[in-house]
Amino acid sequence: MIEVEGLTKYYGAVRGIEDVSFKVNKGEIVGFLGPNGSGKSTTMRILTCVFPPTKGKAVVAGLDVLRKPLEVKRKIGYLPESVPLYPDMRVDAYLKFVAEAKGVTKGIRKRHIADIMAECGIQAVAHRLVGNLSKGFRQRVGIAQALIHDPEVLILDEPTIGLDPQQTIEMRELIKSLKGERTIILSSHILPEVSITCERVIIIHEGRIIAVDKPENLVNRLQKTSRIYLKVQGPSPLVLEKLKTIPGILAVERQEAFPENTYGYIVNSQKDAYIGDYVFPLMLANNWRLWEMKTVTMSLEDIFIRLVTEKDREA
């Protein structure tokens, strides 16, 4: 559905992106992840035909963005980082205006606008001025304008930026509800958002793609050790000492303290080592209580930091 090959953009002598290549399959939700200034918005603007690349190729819904930009725009819905809203218009009037501009057939326009407002959860504010809406509702109206012409591809640039925690959760649920109906590429620098919402991630750093994969595959590739969290009631210095004697243990780090002489520990061991066979007898032998034991995997934040650090070290 989206194919990008060797995409490069220079602003004069300044490099925006260089040799960017990736694919997004039909019906996927893919996260485009990177820090501010990494080239996410530049890539999004090329895909949405805002400006052309310096070189390279991008195909959206089977159409080349350079050769058929108007046809591409008919196939995509775009939510830029700064949502294009008119504050002095009512929500329903604004969406009617957008529907007309995007060529929605007059005979179905009214019903279609009503369906989109229901899908985006903005029926209750249909008659309010856009400028009087909360940030969360403005973002929902932004999603509605991107969906109004029933596009095959949805491109969202920082869709939850500036939202409070509850609004962020609601926006994530709205985006996930669109899965399968449309191909979605979601650009963000907020790592938990991408890990919760997206099936695959594309990680960009300093204008170059450094990883494209499912988060779990990146964890398997990058996590060199096993990590276990233990919550133990017992004298902390002695618990630390005894845990370090378990075969295969590489490091033990004490974490948070709890009441009644209870502490959390992160235990790093050799990747294929299973320490449970040693932990339980150790607890019994010392009359300590083991309140919790769980595997700790790398978060998307850990993956990102590891990849970026490796690339910086190579540079």
Do 26 and 168 sit in the same domain of this protein? yes
Give per-residue pLDDT as tens, 252-291.
999 999 999 999 999 988 877 778 889 999 999 999 999 9
Q: Which of 202, 220, 238 is the last residue of a domain?
A: 220
Q: What is the span of the domain harbouring residue 250? A: 224-296
Do 98 and 237 sit in the same domain of this protein? no
Q: What is the mean pLDDT of the chain?
A: 88
Task: Specify if 301 maps to a domain.
Answer: no
Task: Specify if 302 maps to a domain.
Answer: no
pTM of the model: 0.73
Do 202 and 256 sit in the same domain of this protein? no
Do 59 and 25 sit in the same domain of this protein? yes
Looking at per-residue pLDDT, the higher value among 44 and 167 belongs to 44
Q: What is the mean pLDDT of residues 180-202?
A: 81
Do 49 and 91 sit in the same domain of this protein? yes
The domain tally of the chain equals 2
Handedness of CA 275, 280, 286, 292 (dihedral sign): positive
Spatial contact of 255 and 266, defined as CB atoms under 8 Å apart: yes
> How many CB atoms are located within 10 Å of the residue 274 CB?
12
What is the number of alpha carbons within 13 Å of residue 310 lying toward its C-beta?
Answer: 9
HEC-encoded secondary structure of 141-210 = HHHHHHHCCCCCEEEEECCCCCCCHHHHHHHHHHHHHCECCEEEEEEECCHHHHHHHCCEEEEEECCEEE
Q: What is the domain-level CATH number for residue 211?
A: 3.40.50.300
Task: Specify if 308 maps to a domain.
Answer: no
Give per-residue pLDDT as tens, 56-92.
999 999 999 999 999 999 999 998 888 889 999 999 9
Do 208 and 236 sit in the same domain of this protein? no
Q: What is the domain-level CATH number for residue 275?
A: 3.30.70.1340
Q: Which of 188, 220, 252 is the last residue of a domain?
A: 220
Do 67 and 186 sit in the same domain of this protein? yes
Do 238 and 265 sit in the same domain of this protein? yes
pLDDT score of 271: 77
